[in-house]
């Protein structure tokens, strides 16, 4: 469950899930998927180091904000 939703939204989401309903997929850009996929690489050595990851996120954040 998403942590950024309000208490009321959490209750609605929980009720929906209990009824067997599912939430729709969030809209995600190809860039978002690429960032996430880098961390899911099976080979540990192929995953980005934290410092590199932090720089990517910082650049991504500034692109989104500006």
d(CA 56, CA 66): 15
How far is CA 8 from each of CA 11, 49, 50, 62, rounded to the nearest angstrom?
5, 38, 35, 31
Q: What angle in degrees, to the nearest 10, is found between the helix axes of 50-65 and 30-39?
A: 170
Q: Which pLDDT band, with edges at 50, 70 and 90, does 19 fall under? A: very high
The model's pTM is 0.41
The residue ranges of every structural domain in the chain are: 7-65
Mean pLDDT of 45-52: 85
């Amino acid at each position: 469950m998403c942590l950024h939703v309000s208490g009321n939204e959490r209750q609605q989401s929980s009720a929906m899930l209990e009824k067997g309903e599912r939430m729709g997929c969030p809209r995600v850009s190809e860039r978002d998927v690429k960032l996430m996929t880098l961390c899911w690489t099976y080979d540990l050595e192929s995953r980005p180091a934290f410092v590199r990851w932090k720089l990517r996120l910082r650049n991504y954040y500034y692109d989104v904000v500006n």
